[in-house]
């Protein structure tokens, strides 16, 4: 099946000699059945003309953020929202820097900032510009935000120098675009439930028992599952994060609310418990703020919270086909995580070393071991990388399940 049939691509052509290759990319995309709308930046228009872009795309070429006609008829918001994928090719060093800093001073950058769609960039620049720490930091920032890249490649450059910086060939960019849409369907038809963030267990109207979880890891997992086509419900404790795109997010405060929301979201094929649920809550919540008077500090009596992971993993007809827990450990990481996997009856567990040396709570990076019945693997990287790795394992798991079901 042709994965590009009827897909809507917004192609942003920024300034660089490789802009001429974008004309070929438009031709290939059209031939593959995609609709292509183009934004040509001022820099891009120094190399190719709106007329040639329009002739190949069959659409009006958009160039000006300040054009009354353009903004009335189409507008930068509609341009980005009505696409399935935004491709920036070529993406110059300057354009990448603007994207990283969130500038919106022309039609291309404004459309990107207003976008809720996946983005793929094909960088093109001199090799020194590509290797400059500023560009590397900027591209790193974009990748951490989920922007995909095609290239750049090594080779001779228009400036006469040789190195990494050439824009990927149009056929290679087309392959990356196809891969994006193929990946986007891998988990379609599967329902996933993800818990994320801390829980806050109230002591009185102003105080609570909580923890340092930011929700970054759980939210990244929910986003990664959704980007592969899963129907995702995220049950999140209090965090400062925006709701991930294309994910149904339910906000809760306490463990009791979290378990109720998870039960309401059932049934699911996949359950991933990344939330740092408070193990205990005050036995009684005071209706009024506890006064700090001359008496001794109050004694808190705690009672156990429901264990959401254990509840979800209980055998039964409503058990998700794959239940994954996390284990936040500060010592004997692997043994403790392994024991938790057995005790809570989850299929896989992600052992998180949250000891003092590696700051994990709240940070962007993580260091984990995925423990399954058949072995373990170690991953280190951004929380987004960890989410992507986990989702790849989930894809493999369901692919193998399908194969074995087909063989029966």
List residues binding ligand PMT (CB under 6 A).
Answer: 195, 213-218, 255, 273-277, 279, 305, 307-309, 325-328, 340, 352, 354, 360-362, 383
Q: Which of 159, 262, 273, 346 is catalytic?
A: 159
Length of the chain: 408
Q: What is the DSSP letter of 292?
A: -
Residue 61: name the closest of 3, 4, 122, 108 by CA: 108
| Minimum distance, C-beta of residue 372 to ligand PMT, in the bound complex (Å) | 15
Q: Which C-beta is closer to ligand PMT: that of 293 or that of 331?
A: 331
DSSP E strands, 240-339: 248-251, 270-273, 280-282, 302-304, 322-329
Burial class (CB in 10 A: 0-12, 13-18, 19+), 373: exposed
Q: For the chain, how far is it from start to end, CA to CA, in angstroms? A: 26
Least distance to ligand PMT from the beta carbon of 170, Å?
Answer: 39
**DSSP code of residue 108:** H
Looking from the CA of 124 toward its CB, the CA atoms found within 13 Å total 26
CA 346 from chain centre, in angstroms, equals 24
Nearest approach, Cβ of residue 209 and ligand PMT (Å): 12
Sorted by sequence, the CB contacts under 8 Å of residue 204 that are 6+ apart come out as 285, 286, 287, 288, 289, 290
Beta-ladder partners of 281: 303
CB of 309 to ligand PMT, least distance (A): 4
Please report how close the Cβ of residue 315 comes to ligand PMT at its closest, in angstroms. 17
Q: Does the annotation mark 159 as catalytic?
A: yes
Residues with active-site annotation: 159
């Amino acid at each position: 099946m042709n994965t590009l049939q009827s897909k809507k691509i917004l192609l942003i052509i920024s300034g660089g000699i490789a802009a001429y290759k974008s004309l070929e990319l438009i031709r290939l995309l059209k031939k593959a059945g995609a609709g292509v709308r183009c934004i040509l930046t001022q820099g891009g228009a120094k190399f190719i003309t709106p007329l040639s872009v329009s002739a190949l795309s069959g659409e009006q070429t958009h160039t000006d953020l300040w054009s009354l006609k353009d903004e009335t008829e189409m507008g930068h918001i509609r341009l980005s929202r009505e696409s399935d994928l935004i491709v920036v090719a070529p993406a110059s060093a300057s354009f990448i820097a603007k994207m990283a800093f969130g500038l919106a001073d022309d039609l291309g950058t404004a459309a990107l900032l207003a976008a809720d769609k996946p983005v793929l960039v094909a960088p093109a620049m001199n090799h020194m510009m590509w290797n400059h720490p500023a560009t590397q930091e900027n591209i790193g920032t974009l990748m951490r935000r989920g922007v995909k890249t095609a290239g750049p490649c090594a080779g001779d450059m228009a400036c006469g120098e040789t190195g990494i910086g050439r824009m990927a060939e149009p056929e290679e960019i087309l392959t990356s675009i196809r891969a994006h849409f193929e990946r986007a369907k891998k988990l379609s038809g599967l329902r996933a439930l993800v818990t994320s963030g801390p829980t806050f267990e109230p002591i009185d109207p102003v105080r609570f028992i909580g923890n340092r979880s930011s929700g970054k890891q759980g939210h990244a997992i929910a986003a990664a599952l959704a980007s592969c086509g899963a129907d995702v419900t995220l049950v999140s404790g209090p965090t400062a994060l925006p709701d991930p795109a294309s994910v149904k997010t339910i906000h809760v405060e306490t463990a009791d609310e979290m378990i109720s929301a998870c039960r309401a979201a059932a049934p699911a094929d996949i359950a991933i418990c990344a939330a740092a649920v408070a193990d205990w809550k005050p036995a009684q919540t005071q209706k009024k703020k506890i006064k700090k008077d001359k008496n001794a500090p109050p004694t808190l009596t705690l009672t156990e919270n429901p264990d959401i992971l254990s509840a979800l993993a209980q055998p039964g007809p409503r058990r998700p086909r794959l239940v994954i827990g996390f284990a936040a450990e500060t010592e004997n990481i692997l043994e403790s995580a392994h024991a938790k996997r057995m005790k809570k009856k989850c299929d896989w567990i992600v052992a998180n070393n949250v000891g003092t040396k590696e700051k994990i709570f709240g940070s962007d990076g993580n260091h984990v071991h995925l423990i399954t019945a058949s072995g373990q693997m170690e991953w280190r990287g951004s929380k987004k990388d960890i989410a992507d790795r986990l989702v790849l394992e989930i894809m493999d798991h369901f692919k193998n399940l399908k194969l074995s079901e087909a063989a029966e």
